């Protein structure tokens, strides 16, 4: 299968190249040249008695990856990726009552849904690099969550060095320790004396430094990488197979920030999965909510909320939906985005809005309602949910098609990762799973460096394996 750019001005690439490239050279994002066609019935027919998550993953992903690896290799990589998940079902589906379900995506090593994609992407990177006899240095900046998921996915891989910059003293202690207590010679944590934006600027400068970029074979695994979206399509099929509602209709509600997770759901639908509604939950940073309500998107400044992983200004994966809305015409996408950069506003036609609202709806859930939702779920079911998950549940309950159609809400983080909000809402302290019992006793490894490009660069040159 070949992949094309959403801006129509980059070469078509095969899977291995798309995996390692990330962003297309025209600034666009890669998507499959055409969507493979699948149904729940096809998948279950191929599975016979084995119906575990890994088996479903192989069925869903093989058309996307077959240029690069065969079905048996894919199965081996997926098996290894999901061995690190602590729940026997990997991604369990729990009933919350009233035909409402919670899809728990947070049983991976760093307790957030990003592990589902990154654990597999780490395996795919290592496989592809070993085949090419290459090595890379992944650099990234984090304000907390993504860094730990990326580190865990890349640790102990001989083909990869990973360097993560975080703002010194500005992440929570749990977040910092999840990154800095990883003992692996290819993991390099750097605390920058500055803000998250300073960290991001340093990373950008590295990518613009052609000599350094080429010498280090720099790479990124941020959320625009197609392989991450691809890996996330699996659990939409998995939930549908597990529920198998008689007429196959399902609503999915997804707490959204960069729009990668819910776009993966829409990708499954474009492949053939029956979905009656996609419900986008946002916090007070409601750029996406405003778009789905009014057809207009305007950048504003970010306000901090109880669901920090969704405090995002411009949802980068939105470009992929725009490409599909515009009949996959890259030049139209390019023009619309150029206009957005110029005016700070993006507006679609009324007819396009009517069309989009047939499948999509959205709600803005503020911090108060998030807390009330956490309290309500606890009272009704005894389950503690994290604030991101609560945003999705509240949006889903408000916008679902009907109680006859199952509503699947995506659980994106373990409640133990955001204890303050959960305690505030319920008075109960969510426990961290067992594997973290000694997190506070483990030795940390990180270097504190000034916000200075040359110093950071020479530190990286010395630290990586070479
Ligand atoms: C990243 C993240 C989100 C947002 O997902 P997107 O794919 O960026 O829309 C939601 N919840 C949690 C816990 C996250 O870490």
Where along the chain do its domains lie? 93-112+228-426
Confidence of residue 247 (pLDDT cuts 50, 70, 90): low
The CA 462 to ligand 1 mean position distance, Å, reads 34
The CA 441 to ligand 1 mean position distance, Å, reads 29
> Which residue among 140, 388, 393 has the greatest number of ligand 1 atoms within 8 angstroms of its CB, and so is best to mutate?
388
User: How far apart (Å, rounded) are the C-alpha atoms in residues 459 and 61?
Assistant: 39
> Which residue do the tokens 């009324």 mark?
350
The CA 461 to ligand 1 mean position distance, Å, reads 32
* pLDDT tens track for 167-185: 998 888 888 999 999 999 9
> Which residue among 256, 320, 386 has the greatest number of ligand 1 atoms within 8 angstroms of its CB, and so is best to mutate?
256
Share of the chain above pLDDT 90, in %: 81
Judge whether residue 466 has pLDDT over 70. Answer: no
Contact 280, 362 (CB under 8 A): yes
Q: What is the mean pLDDT of residues 433-451?
A: 93
Contact 125, 187 (CB under 8 A): no
Judge whether residue 201 has pLDDT over 90. Answer: no
Share of the chain above pLDDT 70, in %: 99
The CA 258 to ligand 1 mean position distance, Å, reads 7
* pLDDT tens track for 428-441: 999 988 888 898 89
> Which residue among 106, 113, 314, 390 has the greatest number of ligand 1 atoms within 8 angstroms of its CB, and so is best to mutate?
113
The CA 463 to ligand 1 mean position distance, Å, reads 31
Confidence of residue 244 (pLDDT cuts 50, 70, 90): confident
> Which residue among 140, 142, 258, 319 has the greatest number of ligand 1 atoms within 8 angstroms of its CB, and so is best to mutate?
258
Would you state the pLDDT for residue 405? 94
Judge whether residue 216 has pLDDT over 60. Answer: yes
Find the range with the poorest average confidence among 264-273, 296-305, 445-454. 296-305
* pLDDT tens track for 63-72: 999 999 999 9
Closest ligand 1 atom to Cα of 386: 13
Q: What is the mean pLDDT of residues 85-98?
A: 96
Q: What is the mean pLDDT of residues 28-48?
A: 92
> How far, rounded to the nearest angstrom, does the alpha carbon of residue 259 sit from its chain's CA centroid?
8
Contact 244, 390 (CB under 8 A): no
Would you state the pLDDT for residue 379? 97
Q: Which range has the top average pLDDT, 17-21, 25-29, 70-74, 168-172?
A: 70-74
Q: Ligand 1 pocket by C-beta < 6 Å: which residues?
A: 112, 114, 145, 223, 255-261, 309-310, 388, 412-413
Residue of the nearest CA to atom 2 in ligand 1? 309
* pLDDT tens track for 310-335: 988 888 899 999 999 999 999 999 99
Q: How many CB atoms lie within 10 A of CB 165?
A: 28
Would you state the pLDDT for residue 423? 97
Confidence of residue 166 (pLDDT cuts 50, 70, 90): very high
Judge whether residue 288 has pLDDT over 60. Answer: yes
Helices 173-180 and 145-154 cross at an angle (nearest 10°) of 20
Would you state the pLDDT for residue 246? 64
* pLDDT tens track for 332-391: 999 999 999 899 999 999 999 999 999 999 999 999 999 999 999 999 999 999 999 999
Q: Which residues pair with residue 188 across a beta bridge?
A: 163
The CA 303 to ligand 1 mean position distance, Å, reads 16
Confidence of residue 465 (pLDDT cuts 50, 70, 90): low
Confidence of residue 279 (pLDDT cuts 50, 70, 90): very high
pTM of this structure: 0.95
Would you state the pLDDT for residue 291? 97
* pLDDT tens track for 222-239: 888 999 999 999 999 999
- Give the alpha-carbon dihedral of 182, 188, 191, 197, to 10 degrees: -110
Closest ligand 1 atom to Cα of 256: 9
The CA 465 to ligand 1 mean position distance, Å, reads 32
Residue of the nearest CA to atom 15 in ligand 1? 309
Closest ligand 1 atom to Cα of 149: 15
Residue of the nearest CA to atom 8 in ligand 1? 258
Whether 114 is catalytic: yes
Would you state the pLDDT for residue 21? 84
What residues have CB less than 8 Å from 177, skipping those under 6 apart?
A: 439, 440, 442, 444
The CA 359 to ligand 1 mean position distance, Å, reads 21
Catalytic residue among 62, 75, 94, 114: 114
What mean pLDDT, rounded, does the chain reach?
Answer: 94
Q: Does the domain made of 93-112+228-426 have the CATH classification 3.40.50.1100?
A: yes
Q: What is the mean pLDDT of residues 240-261?
A: 89
Judge whether residue 289 has pLDDT over 90. Answer: yes
Would you state the pLDDT for residue 398? 98
Would you state the pLDDT for residue 50? 72
Would you state the pLDDT for residue 195? 84
Closest ligand 1 atom to Cα of 417: 13
């Amino acid at each position: 299968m070949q992949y094309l750019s959403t801006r129509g001005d980059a070469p078509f690439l095969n899977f291995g190249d798309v995996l390692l490239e990330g962003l297309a050279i025209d600034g666009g994002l890669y998507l499959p040249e055409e969507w493979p066609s699948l149904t729940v019935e096809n998948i279950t027919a191929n599975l016979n008695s084995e119906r575990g998550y890994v088996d479903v993953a192989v069925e869903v992903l093989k058309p996307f990856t077959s240029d690069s690896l065969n079905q048996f290799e894919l199965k081996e990589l997926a098996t290894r990726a999901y061995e690190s998940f602590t729940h026997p079902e990997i991604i369990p589906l729990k009933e919350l009552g009233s035909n409402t379900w919670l899809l728990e995506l947070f049983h991976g090593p760093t307790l957030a849904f990003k592990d589902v994609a990154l654990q597999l992407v780490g395996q795919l990177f290592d496989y592809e690099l070993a085949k090419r006899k290459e090595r890379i240095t992944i650099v990234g900046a984090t304000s907390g969550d993504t860094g730990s998921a990326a580190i865990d996915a890349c640790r102990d891989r001989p083909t990869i060095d990973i360097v993560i910059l975080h703002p010194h003293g500005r992440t929570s202690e749990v977040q910092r320790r999840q990154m800095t207590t990883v003992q692996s010679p290819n993991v390099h944590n750097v605390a920058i004396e500055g803000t998250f934006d300073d960290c991001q600027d340093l990373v950008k400068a590295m990518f613009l430094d052609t000599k350094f970029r080429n010498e280090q074979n720099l790479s990124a695994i941020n959320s625009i990488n197609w392989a991450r979206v691809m890996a996330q399509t699996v659990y939409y099929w998995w939930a549908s197979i597990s529920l198998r509602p008689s007429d196959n209709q399902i609503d999915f509600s997804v707490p959204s920030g960069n729009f990668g997770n819910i776009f993966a759901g829409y990708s499954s639908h474009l492949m053939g999965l029956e979905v009656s509604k996609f419900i986008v939950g946002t916090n007070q940073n409601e750029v996406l909510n405003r778009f789905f309500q009014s057809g207009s998107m305007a950048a504003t400044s970010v306000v901090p909320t109880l669901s920090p992983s969704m405090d995002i200004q411009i949802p980068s994966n939105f470009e992929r939906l725009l490409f599909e809305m515009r009949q996959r015409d890259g030049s139209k996408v390019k023009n619309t985005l150029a206009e957005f950069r110029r005016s700070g506003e993006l507006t679609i036609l009324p007819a396009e809005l009517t069309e989009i609202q047939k499948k999509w709806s959205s709600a803005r859930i503020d911090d108060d309602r998030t807390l009330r939702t956490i309290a309500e779920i606890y009272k009704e079911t005894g389950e503690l949910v994290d604030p991101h998950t609560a945003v999705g549940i509240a949006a889903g309950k408000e916008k679902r098609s009907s109680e006859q159609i199952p509503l699947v809400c995506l659980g994106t983080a373990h409640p133990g990762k955001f204890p303050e909000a959960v305690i505030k809402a319920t008075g109960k302290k969510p426990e961290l799973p067992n594997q973290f019992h000694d997190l506070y006793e483990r030795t940390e490894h990180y270097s504190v460096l000034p916000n200075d490009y040359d110093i950071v660069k020479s530190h990286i040159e010395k630290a990586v394996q070479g």
